[in-house]
Structure formats: structure tokens, C-alpha cells
Amino acid sequence: MKIITIVGARPQFIKAAALSREFLKHNHINEIIVHTGQHFDANMSDVFFEQMEIPKPRYNLDINGLGHGAMTGQMLEKIEKVLITETPEWVLVYGDTNSTIAGALAAKKLHIKVAHVEAGLRSFNMAMPEEINRILTDRISDLLFCPTDSAIENLNKEGYNNLDSTLLKSGDVMQDAALFYSKKAQAPRFLVPEQFILCTIHRAENTDNDKRLSSILSGLNIIAKSNPVILPLHPRTKNIINKGSFDINNLTIVEPLGYLEMVYLIKKSKLVMTDSGGLQKEAFFFKKPCITLRDETEWVELVNGGFNTLVGANEQLIIKAFEKQNYDIDFNINLYGNGTASEFIFKSIIEFQNESYK
């Protein structure tokens, strides 16, 4: 059976790595990885395939640096050509990026079955491009692999029990990856303080809004006066900061890091601050509290459980959340499965495929 996996961004490389390892155990599965090029910098892309020891993409579409419409349109066109050439039984998409919706649309229009890993998540903020991508991808997918009970509940509320699609609670493949790669963690090439905060900022809602970005950076800069803050910067975010007049004197700015270096820093940090959905979960996997620099999150169970604090882009709330942070949190709760999501997804696709041939 031939499966085309569509990836384009850092979190998708991590998710795909977990499932690709499962596919490689079975000779009757032919997985072909297509990289749209959405994250094209070597530090954001190539290093992940090397570190994770998974097959490099058969196709690299080299689509990046464009607006949403142009990027999604070019991805749709080029992915369609790949699918016509390869004629797979399945297309596998992850998460909520432009690569996700383009892959699902291209497949569906060619009557190829679509499996969506990380289905059912909702921020309920339609101003987010990711929210639009995930909603539309869910609607046209045949198999929806939901990581949590809340994701299943979201889809049931939207009437998916009346639609021709199958909802399955799979657990989270990112936890599979975290468990597998934890022992392979690598120290970065800079001196890491004994105690520090790990921070990332990349979402357009923060980086494209000078007021929000200034407020976030100001809050971080104040915290960093007494608590080192390590901030790996996406090239796009770095360019925005360099062009502006932001106060970052106290922050430790570093280049984008590979997954194994990020795992090392998460494990060594005392606190994670981020606007990344994936890093919110990775903080939980490695038992670190998280402050989320967004107004809402798809991972509501982390907020409800007290593992995650939402502060938006408010400087005072950022500082207050840090000062009142509880570090004595019991992380011994199973929110995302037990590290077997990849095996479950593999078996489910096989079963679904076998049923379709009956």
C-alpha cells in the first residue's frame, strides 16, 4: 500500500517521524514523503530529517515566502502533480498549516483517501489561519485521528456523527516522538545556564502585530533581568525584530535549533513560555509548566489541569504569571495516550483499507 505523507513545518516533521518509524517496520507499506518547503531554512528543516533518522523527502516542492493564497495555491498545484504520478491509496496530513489543507484538497479532488492526524482541535478563533485550515481539513478527511477526548467532543458537536467520516481517538503522536527521542537529546553549541526559561515566538498573530510583539518582548526582557530567557528565533521573526525598535537586551537570542537540541533545553528548563501549540504539549510531556503567549489554545486540557497559563500578549500578565508560577505540579495524568498513537494510527489505516476492499 502506498501512502503519501505531506509535511512542511517543524511540528509536522516531528509528528511524521513517529509514524514513519512505524511504517518502516512493515515491508508492505510504501511511504513517500512530500516536503512542501514551507519551512525551508536548513535549521528548520534538513536537520530534523537527519536527527530523526527517517527517510528524507522524495519530493521537495520549495514553496515558501509567499502570502497564504499564493502559497496554498502553489502547494495544491504541485501536490496534485505528485499524486497523479504516484497514485497512492492514502494521503496523510498533519496539524493545521497551509501544507495540511493543500494536501487534503489535492487528494480529495483526485478521490484519494485522506487521513488527518491531530484532527478535531479548535481554538474557536476564526482570525487564525490555522483554525481555518484545520476545520476545512477535518471536513474532507476520511479518517480523523483525534489526540484527545475534547477533540472528539468538538467534532461530535459539529455533527460529524452524521457525516461520512470515521472519528478515532488515537492519542498524540508527538508524545510518541518525545518518549523515543528523549534519550537522544543533544546539548546545543552554546553555554546553557543552570536555570533558565525556554521561550519561542512565531505565530503571525504575535509577530505581525507590533503592539503585541513589543508587549511580549518587553515582558520577557524584564523577566530576563533575573532569570535567563533563551529564545530560539525563526528567521522570519528575527527579521521583524531586527527591523523594529524592540527591547531585547536581556534576552539570549539563538538560531533555530534541531529537535534533539530543543528536547535537551525543554528537559533542562524550569519553565516554558511559547505561542507554539506543539511546544505547549512538549512542556507537558517533560513535566515543565508552561505560560502560553496567546489569547486561546487548542490544548484546553492543559489549561484546565493547571499545567498551562494563558496570558495573551499582555506584558503585565506575562510578568504576573511568571511571578506566581506554581512549580509543584503533579504531571502524572494521562492526557495524550501512552506513547502508542503511531501504532494505533497504522493499524487503523490498514483496517480501514481492508474494509474498503470488501
How many of the other CB atoms lie within 10 Å of CB of 319? 16
User: What is the rounded distance in angstroms from the CA atom of residue 5 to the CA atom of residue 20?
Assistant: 9
Q: Which string of DSSP letters, residue by residue, matches 265-327? A: HHHH-SEEEES-HHHHHHHHHTT--EEE-SS--S-HHHHHTTSEEE-TT-HHHHHHHHHT---
Q: Is 68 a catalytic residue?
A: no
User: What is the rounded distance in angstroms from the CA atom of residue 271 to the CA atom of residue 287?
Assistant: 10
**Which residues, 6+ apart, have CB-to-CB distance to 318 below 8 Å?**
215, 216, 219, 220, 223, 273, 291, 293, 311
Amino acid at 328: D
Its sign, for the CA torsion 224, 229, 235, 236, is negative
Residue 336 · residue 172 · CB < 8 Å = yes
Q: 337: number of CA atoms within 13 Å, CB side?
A: 24
What is residue 113's three-state secondary structure?
strand
Q: Are strands 2-7 and 113-117 parallel, antiparallel or unpaired?
A: unpaired
Residue 199 · residue 288 · CB < 8 Å = no
Catalytic, out of 39, 116, 202, 234? 202
Catalytic center residues: 202
